[in-house]
């Protein structure tokens, strides 16, 4: 058994893709996942399983709720690495301005190199592994450096979580 974090993109946002977390927990438990925990209403789940992948979770959500939503999965160890690799430690003091974009796969090096981050100044971005870390100098809502921009540039699906949520997910994923 392993501990996994499942991140759903676009759940319960602006009245769209309504998915009550209690219903999602029940559905996941019925599918054989155990110790299922959710955090806030935006599609953050920690669970135990022998294996967990995006396709099986996506299919379960489609079958049980009629929703097609992007899903990203990380192991507890991978999430620990995400936290350890934070390239913007000074932004930890303003956790709503530090976001981690979890990518559906590792972006190709040439794609990352070709991405012109300068056009988003003063916001900063660094990609490490399958994550893009973005430090926003003002509110996220004022920037054009969004998951839509990253999806298009990388040819992948991303889902973002602010630093507070990333830390809370680590706590939920802890296996100690």
Is 148:101 a contact under the CB 8 Å cutoff?
A: no
Burial of 66 (0-12, 13-18, 19+ CB in 10 A): exposed
Residue ranges, CATH 3.30.70.1280, the chain: 2-77
pLDDT in tens, 67-78: 999 999 999 999
Q: Report in angstroms the alpha-carbon separations of 7 from 74, 119, 123.
A: 8, 28, 24
Q: What does CATH list as the number for 2-77?
A: 3.30.70.1280
> Residue 115: how many CB atoms within 10 A of its CB?
20
Q: Which two tokens stand for residue 36?
A: 């299922």
3-state secondary structure of 94: coil
Mean pLDDT of 1-25: 89
Instruction: Output the pLDDT for position 14.
Output: 73
Q: Round the average pLDDT of the chain to a whole number and report it.
A: 94
Which residues is 73 bridged to in the sheet?
A: 6
pLDDT in tens, 38-68: 999 889 999 999 999 999 999 999 999 999 9
pLDDT in tens, 20-30: 999 999 999 99
Is the confidence at residue 103, as pLDDT, over 80? Answer: yes
Q: Report in angstroms the alpha-carbon separations of 37 from 6, 28, 87, 115, 136.
A: 10, 10, 28, 36, 29
Is 102:158 a contact under the CB 8 Å cutoff?
A: yes
Instruction: Output the pLDDT for position 17.
Output: 83
Instruction: Output the pLDDT for position 10.
Output: 85
Is the confidence at residue 176, as pLDDT, over 70? Answer: no
Which residues is 127 bridged to in the sheet?
A: 132
pLDDT in tens, 84-100: 999 999 999 999 999 99
Mean pLDDT of 102-109: 96
């Amino acid at each position: 058994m392993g501990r996994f974090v499942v991140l759903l993109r676009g759940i319960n946002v602006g009245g769209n893709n309504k998915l009550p977390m209690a219903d999602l927990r029940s559905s996941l438990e019925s599918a054989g996942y155990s110790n299922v925990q959710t955090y806030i209403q935006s599609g953050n789940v920690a669970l135990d399983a022998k294996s967990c992948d995006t396709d099986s979770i996506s299919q379960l959500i489609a079958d049980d709720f009629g929703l097609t939503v992007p899903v990203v999965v990380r192991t507890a160890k991978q999430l620990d690495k995400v936290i350890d690799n934070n390239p913007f430690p000074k932004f930890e003091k303003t956790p709503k301005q530090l976001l981690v974009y979890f990518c559906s796969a590792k972006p190709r090096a040439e794609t990352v190199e070709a991405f012109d981050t300068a056009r988003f100044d003063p916001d900063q971005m660094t990609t490490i592994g399958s994550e893009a870390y973005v430090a926003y100098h003002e509110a996220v809502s004022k920037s054009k450096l969004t998951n839509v921009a990253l999806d298009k540039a990388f040819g992948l699906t991303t889902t973002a979580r602010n630093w507070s949520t990333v830390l809370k997910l680590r706590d939920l994923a802890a296996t100690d």
